[in-house]
Amino acid sequence: MAKHPTDIQQVVRDRYASVARETLDKAPAKSCCGSARKAPPHVVAYYSEQVLQSLPDSVVEAARGCGNPLALASLQPGEVVLDLGSGGGIDCFLSAQRVGPQGRVIGLDMTPEMIELAQDNARKMGVDNVEFRPGEMEAMPVESASVDVIISNCVINLSPDKAAVFREAYRVLKPGGRLSVSDIVKRAPLPPEVEASLDAWSRCIAGASPREDYLGFIRAAGFTRVAVAHETDVSNAQGWRQNLASVKVTAVKPA
């Protein structure tokens, strides 16, 4: 039976609300950057230990990405960055360091608990060039042609309407603006029971589009220079999980 978009959004929201509440419940009142805590393996795989030790536990522990979109974004001082599905804010805070005080970072997330967590993290870190907005990627509460760079880390695959996400991304980017996303795509079909599972969708599995479909959505939105800069197996891929791939995709809105 086909999954309804509202059901998908609800199960995704519930899953990440749970992650945010768990992190908030055990987070200390102040930043604990540089603590002896061990970052989750899926985070260590994409960020250096030096970077992770500069962030509070509550930023690192809430991260659920499949890559590091900043590795290809080439952020410059003064730029405006939009992070789709910003979660606890890890990529927003790292972006804020790169764009500097003259730049600005917007984190967009549809889960109120994640917005609360990210804002709490921003207060801990004393970061004032980042803001977090509640909203959905398919209808971004962002002004047209106002953003230099869009990043996203394993979130667009959670959307039931990826074509709409990329149309909105094109709208809010300035002419010449850049897209740099890490995501999960399919190399081959998944077992029917996995494809039908809402839980698997919320875990960035069932919602993964075929690789060429995903790139096609980006091109259809109007982007040029669409490229897969890096592709690898998902972590510990065995069995049908070998049909999935983690990709870094870049694209440009024509000037």
Tens digits of residue pLDDT in 130-167: 999 999 999 999 999 999 999 999 999 999 999 999 99
For residue range 85-113, list pLDDT tens digits in order: 999 999 999 999 999 999 999 999 999 99
Backbone dihedral angles phi then psi of residue 142, each to the nearest 5 degrees: -140, 140
Supply the range of the domain harboring residue 233: 5-252
Q: 41 falls in which pLDDT band (50, 70, 90)?
A: low
Give every strand in the sheet of 80-84, ordered side by side: 130-134, 104-109, 80-84, 147-153, 173-186, 244-252, 224-233
Residue 23 has pLDDT above 60, yes or no: yes
CATH code, domain carrying 218: 3.40.50.150
3-state SS class at 248: strand
3-state SS class at 63: coil
Residues 6+ apart with CB under 8 A from 171: 140, 144, 145
Percent of the chain with pLDDT over 70: 91
Using alpha carbons, select from 144, 157, 143 the residue that is nearest to residue 217: 157
pLDDT of residue 36: 41
Residues 6+ apart with CB under 8 A from 128: 122
Domain count, the chain: 1
Return the higher-pLDDT residue of 40 and 90. Answer: 90
pLDDT of residue 35: 44
0.75 exceeded by pTM: yes
Kind and range of the H or E element at 90? helix 90-99
Residue 229 has pLDDT above 60, yes or no: yes
Both structure tokens of 44: 């260590």
* Contact between residue 139 and residue 167 where contact means Cβ atoms under 8 Å apart: no
pLDDT of residue 72: 79
pLDDT of residue 28: 54
Mean pLDDT for all residues in the chain: 90
